Chains A and B, each alone.
Chain A
Amino acid sequence: MKIDLLIQHGRLIDPASAVDEIADVWIHDGRIAGTGCFSGKAKRTIDARGMIVCPGLIDMHVHLREPGQEWKEDIASGSKAAVAGGVTRVCCMPNTQPCLDHAGVLAQLAARNQAVGLVHLHPIAAVSKGLKGTELTEMRELAAAGAVAFSDDGKPIWHAGVMRKALEYASSFGFLVIQHAEEPTLTAGGAINEGWVSTQMGVPGMPAEGEDSIIARDIMLTRLTDARYHVAHISTAGAVAQVRAAQQQGLKVSAEAAPHHFALTEEEVLGYRSDAKMSPPLRTEADRQAVIEGLRDGTIAVIATDHAPHHEDDKRCGLECAAFGIVGLETMLPVSLMLVREKVLSLSELIAKMTVNPARLLNLAAGRLAKGDIADVCVFDPDEQWTLDRNRLYSKSRNTPWHGKTMQGRVRHTITAGKLVFSLPEAS
């Protein structure tokens, strides 16, 4: 019998099983059929010599814009961007139109994703109906329809009383609540980080305390409710310190960091560059170092992109008016590899933050390469240098601060459920 697909001679890194060795991976019927030394015949073979072979990446923070804003992104284009970035599981945020606050919308998303067929789609449903922050969604029904966590991302759950109830209700069923930590009365009108850069530019700023104060409150509420609480796109030194302290006290508090928050600082917006505008904003070098330290010591278990596509029209209107957000799916892996080059993390630790760690947080049987697992695989060259051209992104949107920058590390092949869904075109 011939197996479906053989990935030969690569360096297999599977953090879940602590494997890091040169080995073959073979796939049959959509599942991992074995790892080690393959002898037999395969219908298709990928030569992965010099490459890393790891579980398909999981991005637990993506804005796919469908339904409602398909001119920015849709499931088809977002999936193509995902697999080009080695991502096989996409957790999409609920701030669509209509928003993901009803099981019917989740069913529609699942059907659309099945038709596209490139990635596994795991919706994060709204905490509050209409993302209004006043009444809770039907979390149990949404979970049954596929929701893996709950968030009002894009907006904070601001009202302390509602947040308490959300944490209590969600944790009654083991659900994770993800907070976009922002105190709107401190950040109102702000476009960038508040500090020396905003002072020089005369642009309204958003202080770090806008993020820290909500997290401080939420940690108290997490203690009160014995809930599971996750900080999205953590960006400040103060926030990292609070999450670390909460974890040391045994609270079920976790956090994710976006590549831009550990790779870039607020100085990126000098010259009024709207492609470096997002929320939370790029912070100071001290904040960036604190996020890196949080990744190093494990306080921050997950790297996620906050992939936020926007049309040129929403970005090309001056810094203060421009929409918040950048695309990230296609740059997550190469940008994050800087942590390995700078010896912050081992390659295995880095991959864990984009595979098994988010899988555990979201209770997904994924992010690993053991025999019998669904065959989601990423094959990448950790050394290849290439120049990012925003006009060649698979995403519909081009809002990236890395246009023209040299990337190191490049995805060569992506396999979702045993199907080869992406191969880097020759000579690109």
Chain B
Amino acid sequence: MKHLFGIAELSAERIRHLLSISASMQGINRRSIKKAPALRGKTVINLFFENSTRTRTSFEIAGKRLSADVINISASTSATKKGESLLDTGQTLAAMQPHALVIRHSLAGCCHFLADFLPHTSIINAGDGAHEHPTQVLTDLLTIEQALGTTITGKVMTMVGDIAHSRVARSHLLAAQKLGYHIRLVAPKTLLPVQVERFGCSVSHDFDEAIEGSDIVYMLRVQNERLASACCFPSVREYHETYGLHRQRLARAGDHCLVMHPGPMNRGVEIATDVADSLQSRVLEQVENGVAVRMAVLTECIMHRDAAAAEAAENEDEDDED
């Protein structure tokens, strides 16, 4: 695996493989000396064009715990020049010969776009527009399967909120098809992309009805000011009433139901504080597991690159002998 663009490019076997490497990385994170030599001498650049605390920090810690040299860059973008500066910045950084570029950008497809111009660098998607956020979904899968003590296959995930603008939603919808779990989307039509049911999910506008029988309730962040001004819902008050997760609503699913959120949470908007801090909430495990997943992803991408380079060098040597 040279790049990680999205869940779309991964087979079920590849997802399982990444989850099993991730599980093996968890031990490093719980030791007192949190350092392993796997990526010593490797350079990872985190190139973030959008604000991010948890994903950027998670990638940074993941790289450092594996002894990679990690450089963080926060680039701001103006709306008109954002594509141009992405290419220039990408090429500039690639010229410094990093092994991997971890990219977050508001442009869907930014990784596909950059990879065409940067043939020698592994590109890892840390969130591209409303397209994909694969490491978040791998993190969720690891968290869910460890919490349930079984595979996710056959389980029901109810996902609530701004599906239309969510890269996490798209990555989950793809993963659900590959691993065989069922997603119920819950949102008003204003927050659902057209024809979304073609992902094989079900769609509901009634949270109370949809939450019954769920194994996981997955709440998405709602950018309340932006969405209200775009007429996606009338007010935070009405949104919370209709689509917020609070204790009574969660009770309809039962005590076994996991509560998840990719963060950052808007308490009192999509999720009530008592639910966010409840025993059913797995939000902090998601964050913890994110480090292990990103360690696995960095290792897989960079080691693939090394193996390919070694093979090329070997072929060259053979040529010399002839």
A positions within 8 Å CB-CB of B: 194-196, 198-205, 207, 271-272, 313, 316-322
Contact = CB atoms under 8 A, between A and B. Distances in A.
A202 B167 contact: yes
Contact of B193 (A199, A272, A313): A199
B170 interface: yes
Contacts of A201: 108-109, 131
Report, nearest first, the 8 A-B pairs whose CB atoms are least far apart. A317-B83, A321-B83, A202-B131, A272-B109, A202-B130, A318-B83, A199-B193, A202-B108
Contacts of A271: 112
Interface string B170-181: 100000000000
Given A320-B83, A320-B108, 15 more contacts: A196-B194, A196-B195, A198-B193, A201-B131, A202-B167, A271-B112, A313-B84, A316-B83, A317-B84, A318-B110, A319-B107, A319-B108, A319-B113, A320-B129, A321-B83
A203 B109 contact: yes
A38 to B, nearest CB: 55
Contact of B113 (A194, A205, A313, A318): A318
27 contacts: A195-B194, A196-B195, A199-B194, A199-B196, A199-B198, A201-B108, A202-B109, A202-B128, A202-B129, A202-B132, A202-B170, A203-B108, A203-B130, A203-B131, A204-B130, A271-B112, A272-B113, A316-B87, A317-B84, A317-B86, A318-B86, A318-B110, A319-B108, A319-B109, A320-B109, A321-B80, A322-B83
Nearest to B193: A199
Contacts of B86: 317-318
Interface of B: 80, 82-84, 86-87, 107-110, 112-113, 128-132, 167, 170, 193-196, 198
Contacts of A200: 170
Nearest to B195: A196
Contact of B112 (A199, A272, A313): A272
Among A194, A199, A271, A316, find the residue whose CB has the most chain B CB atoms closer than 10 A: A199
Given A201-B131, A271-B112, A318 B195 contact: no
Among B108, B131, B196, find the residue whose CB has the most chain A CB atoms closer than 10 A: B108
Nearest to A207: B194
Given A202-B129, A202-B167, A202-B170, A320 B194 contact: no
Contacts of B107: 318-321
Contact of B82 (A195, A198, A205, A321): A321
A271 B112 CA distance: 7
Contacts of B167: 202
B78 to A, nearest CB: 11
A313 B86 CA distance: 12
A400 to B, nearest CB: 17
Nearest to B105: A318
B84 A321 contact: yes
Contacts of A320: 83, 107-109, 129
Nearest to B111: A272
Among B86, B87, B112, B196, find the residue whose CB has the most chain A CB atoms closer than 10 A: B112
Contact of B194 (A198, A202, A316, A318): A198
A319 B113 CA distance: 8
Contacts of B87: 316-317
Contacts of A313: 84
Contacts of A198: 193-194
A45 B108 CA distance: 56
A388 to B, nearest CB: 20
Nearest to A205: B194
A386 B312 CA distance: 36
Contacts of A196: 194-195, 198
B266 to A, nearest CB: 22
A380 B87 CA distance: 42
Given A316-B87, A319-B113, A322-B83, A199 B129 contact: no
A316 B113 CA distance: 9
Contacts of B109: 201-203, 272, 318-320
